Amino acid sequence: MPSGHHKSRTMRRVFVKTPGKRTVMHYRLRKPSKAICASCGAVLAGMARERPYKMMNMAKSMKRPERPFGGILCSRCMRAEIKARARK
C-alpha cells in the first residue's frame, strides 16, 4: 500500500520494469510548468522544463536561448522591444 503522500496526484506514477521482470510503480515529482513570455504570454521555445536539481547540472546554453531577453520574452516580442528601443 502506498504511503499517504503518494496517494495524491502531486506525484506522478511511473511504471518501472525491475531486473526480476516485475513491473513496479515508482512515484516521481512532476515537471514544472512551461515558461511563458512576460509580454504576450506565449510558451517560450528553447527553455528547459526540468526540476531545479537537474537544471543545476545543465549547461547555461541549454537552460535558455542565447539572445537578448532570452528566457524572458518570445522572439516576436524581443524583436518588437529592440525596435521600440531603437526608435527612442
H helices of 1-88, in order, are: 4-7, 52-55, 60-63, 75-87
Calpha distance 17→23 (Å, rounded): 4
For residues 2 and 25, which has the higher predicted lDDT (pLDDT)? 25
Which conformational region is residue 69 in: left (phi greater than 0), alpha (psi within -120 to 50 degrees), or beta?
A: left
How many residues in total does the chain contain? Answer: 88
What pLDDT, on a 0 to 100 scale, did the predictor assign at position 2? 85
What digits encode the pLDDT tens for the residues 6-43? 988 999 999 999 999 999 999 999 999 999 999 999 99
Q: What is the pLDDT of residues 44-55, one digit of tens each?
A: 999 999 999 999
